[in-house]
Amino acid sequence: MIDARPKSITTEGSAMAEQVWQKSSRSATGISCLEVAHACGGIRVRDSKDTAKPHLFFTAATWVRFQRSVTAGPL
């Protein structure tokens, strides 16, 4: 069985401040949304309304599985 849980939770730091965070082009202004950033070995995810909160880190393989599941249809 594949463990799809996040590998770590991190807080804002100098390396993370340098990352380019992206929000979906389908996000409406003022609505809760997630932002993602490429990180060494994976993807970081954060809440766009409160970027100071801890961020999640997913390995690249886990992120790809998640994307495929979402595009395949209802979870």
pLDDT tens for residues 1-58?
Answer: 444 454 544 444 545 556 789 987 777 666 778 899 999 989 999 988 888 899 999 9
**What pLDDT does 56 receive?**
92
pLDDT bin (cut points 50, 70, 90) of residue 74 is: confident
C-alpha angle with apex 6: 54 to 57, nearest 5 degrees? Answer: 55
3 to 49, 58, 71: CA distances (angstroms): 28, 11, 20
Backbone angles phi, psi at 18, to 5 degrees: -80, -15
**What pLDDT does 48 receive?**
86
CA distance linking residue 23 with residue 63, whole number of Å: 16
- Which contiguous run of DSSP H or E holds residue 71? helix 60-72
Longest Cα pair distance anywhere in the chain, in angstroms?
Answer: 38
